[in-house]
Amino acid sequence: MEGAAELIKEIFEKKGVYDNEGNKYDLTSNIDESEGQFLATIIRKYKPQKTIEIGCAYGISALYICSELEKLNDPHHIMIDAWQSTVFKNIGVTNLKKAGIGFFELIEERSEIVLPRLLSENKKYDLCFIDGNHTFDHTLIDFFYLDRMITTGGIIILDDVGLPAINKLVRYILNYPSYKQIGNVEYKVSPKKKILNLIGKRPFRLFSKLLPDKLKHEFFAGDIIKSNQKLNLNSSMIALQKIKEDDRNWNWFKDF
């Protein structure tokens, strides 16, 4: 049996994972090392006891999460993954067991079915990691239910923020008065591309500032206007902290 840190290192060195029969699978559905370190840093700083993630796949994010959780008292980690035993050949669970992690629970159902059930059971979590279905509506459903189960002061982390659907959702969430951005992982963008992005969008951003809010959203996309809170559009992962209970009016809306 090897520890989580050793197993993570081995996985990235070999660029693959193994099922119970010893068959190798290339890394295709996983966070990278910088994102894993970001997860670990957040957990070390905020010390969540009860955590949940949407999407397990090969278990790499769970290994990073649980490697820090095991340093705390009485941790518990839930993974929701409807395709763990089929598409992913139970590799995520196998890796956690190989690392000696025993405080996890796998729920092999779709998140849109599981999350309402957990909410009805009054479950509460200190940290939630969303890395499941990456459509706008599905990720919004995941966030909608997790928002109701996350404790005040708790953290919701979203992966693949560079995808248009997730980026759009994060811009929406950052308008919530109950959340603030506390960190992110940036894509490695070449200096040339940074300059091209700056030259291409800066004039439009400057012009958009002269317009009333209603006209801004009528003429420009969200990546030109940006949110009231700064969102780095080159982010691959972002952490949001719930700073208070949701007290929006029934008809609350802010364009994004």
Which stretch of DSSP H or E encloses residue 68? helix 60-69
Q: What is the pLDDT of residue 1?
A: 56
Domain contains 206? no
Cα within 13 Å of Cα(172), Cβ side = 14
3-state secondary structure of 240: strand
Task: Decide which of 211 and 117 is more confident.
Answer: 117
Domain contains 193? no
Domain contains 196? no
Domain contains 204? no
Integer Cα distance of 96 and 238 in angstroms: 24
Total-model pTM = 0.85
Integer Cα distance of 127 and 137 in angstroms: 21
Domain contains 149? yes
Cα within 13 Å of Cα(27), Cβ side = 15
User: Which tokens go with 79?
Assistant: 């993974």
Residues 6+ apart with CB under 8 A from 253: none
The residue written with tokens 């993630």 in the block is 53
Name the nearest CA neighbour of 52 among 103, 120, 1: 103
pLDDT tier at 225, thresholds 50, 70, 90: very low
Domain contains 250? no
Q: Decide if 79 contacts 106 (C-beta within 8 A).
A: yes
- Residue 169 is part of which domain span? 4-188+228-242
Q: Decide if 125 contacts 150 (C-beta within 8 A).
A: yes
Q: Please write the tens of the pLDDT for every residue from 29-75.
A: 789 999 999 999 999 999 999 999 999 999 999 999 999 999 999 99
Q: Please write the tens of the pLDDT for every residue from 66-95.
A: 999 999 999 999 999 999 999 999 999 999
Domain contains 207? no
Please compute the mean of the pLDDT values over residues 202-216 and round it to a whole number. Answer: 57
Q: What is the pLDDT of residue 209?
A: 59
Q: Please write the tens of the pLDDT for every residue from 132-156.
A: 999 999 999 999 999 999 999 999 9
Question: pLDDT at residue 233 above 50?
Answer: yes
Domain contains 64? yes
Number of domains in the chain: 1
Q: What is the pLDDT of residue 165?
A: 93
Residues 6+ apart with CB under 8 A from 187: 162, 234, 235, 236
CATH number of domain containing 150: 3.40.50.150
Question: pLDDT at residue 198 above 70?
Answer: no
